[in-house]
Amino acid sequence: MIIVAHVLLILLGATEILQADLLPDEKISLLPPVNFTIKVTGLAQVLLQWKPNPDQEQRNVNLEYQVKINTPKEDDYETRITESKCVTILHKGFSASVRTILQSDHSLLASSWVSAELHAPPGSPGTSIVNLTCTTNTTEDNYSRLRSYQVSLHCTWLVGTDAPEDTQYFLYYRYGSWTEECQEYSKDTLGRNIACWFPRTFILSKGRDWLAVLVNGSSKHSAIKPFDQLFALHAIDQINPPLNVTAEIEGTRLSIQWEKPVSAFPIHCFDYEVKIHNTRNGYLQIEKLMTNAFISIIDDLSKHDVQVRAAVSSMCREAGLWSEWSQPIYVGFSR
């Protein structure tokens, strides 16, 4: 029994020595990373890379790195690897910093920061586009065996206030690893591109990646400043209206049914609003539903018009746009 206790004390002592060696203290000096670079890898996308400092004292500790985005929008996070991908607009430039850190339950040790920067692209003030807006829409794909649905993209913008009359703009989008240049433009009275239409894209209907859009330009009289913007798909996806809306009256009972919109999302992923309008007295009834049927008690002596619209439920993705209302269906009669 005495021998066992003695061995146990030796093991406990060894454990304490090991733990003490792992804990950061004032004797550990952290050095900043080296060879910190920022590389543009795509539209609105950069890769940050660095290497551990070769002079860093080697201890039985797990070093990490803190990354701080300075511009265009402040952010910071921690990582254990020596590179980081960042999706961000670049027309305002981009700068970031990184440092070595060592954390314990009670303290944080950190090296000094090292920084790198991408300057804003050149161009004359007031020449870049303004008010860029984009929407997506899903249609059934009858031409592909790989995908049942196809996503279109439509973007519009205004000409820069100081852009010369001969300015011409060009739009590109990136989704995931795919980048495309627009081939179908709408023009203003001076022949300048002010809208773009992609009838088919590589955008996924249920995708969650950012959509990056870049519009640059050219002119004989001035350098046109580029402009890029990020869009969350749920915020720009124009949902289709519900299909095959029907309405029937039996006495004072109004029964309404419909089918889900053309969409890659399944039937359980939709919320609906039903609008019933009494054309005789102007009374308007709007009901929110999660099913594709609704029954209402109405004035059987009045004519009513019925419409339904849809939105993807927050159970399936972040809340977004409602569809347009379906075409009105008229039921009942007036006296």
Give a yes or no: residue 325 inside a domain.
yes
Give a yes or no: residue 335 inside a domain.
no
Contacts of 126 (CB under 8 A, 6+ apart): 160, 161, 162, 163
Q: End of a domain among 57, 82, 116?
A: 116
Question: Same structural domain for residues 210 and 259?
Answer: no
Into how many domains does the chain fold? 3
* Domain membership of residue 213 as a residue range: 128-233
Question: Same structural domain for residues 222 and 280?
Answer: no
Give a yes or no: residue 238 inside a domain.
no
Give a yes or no: residue 207 inside a domain.
yes
Q: End of a domain among 233, 254, 284?
A: 233
**pLDDT tens for the 335 residues of the chain, in order:** 333 333 333 333 333 333 334 444 456 789 999 999 999 999 999 999 999 999 988 777 889 999 999 999 999 999 999 999 999 999 999 999 999 999 877 788 999 999 999 999 999 999 999 999 999 999 988 766 667 899 999 999 999 999 999 999 999 999 999 999 999 999 999 999 999 999 999 999 899 999 999 999 999 999 999 999 999 999 999 999 999 999 999 888 999 999 999 999 999 999 999 999 998 888 999 999 999 999 998 877 789 999 999 999 999 999 999 999 999 999 986 55
Considering just the CA atoms, what is the radius of gyration of the chain in Å? 30
Question: Same structural domain for residues 224 and 251?
Answer: no
Question: Same structural domain for residues 50 and 96?
Answer: yes
Question: Same structural domain for residues 160 and 75?
Answer: no
Question: Same structural domain for residues 179 and 249?
Answer: no
Give a yes or no: residue 42 inside a domain.
yes
Q: End of a domain among 89, 116, 143?
A: 116
Beta pairing, strands 253-259 & 243-250: antiparallel
The CATH number of the domain holding residue 144 is 2.60.40.10
Give a yes or no: residue 26 inside a domain.
no
- Provide the b/e sequence for 85-105 (b: ≥16 CB within 10 Å): ebebbbbeebebbbbbbbbee
Question: Same structural domain for residues 47 and 143?
Answer: no
Question: Same structural domain for residues 227 and 133?
Answer: yes
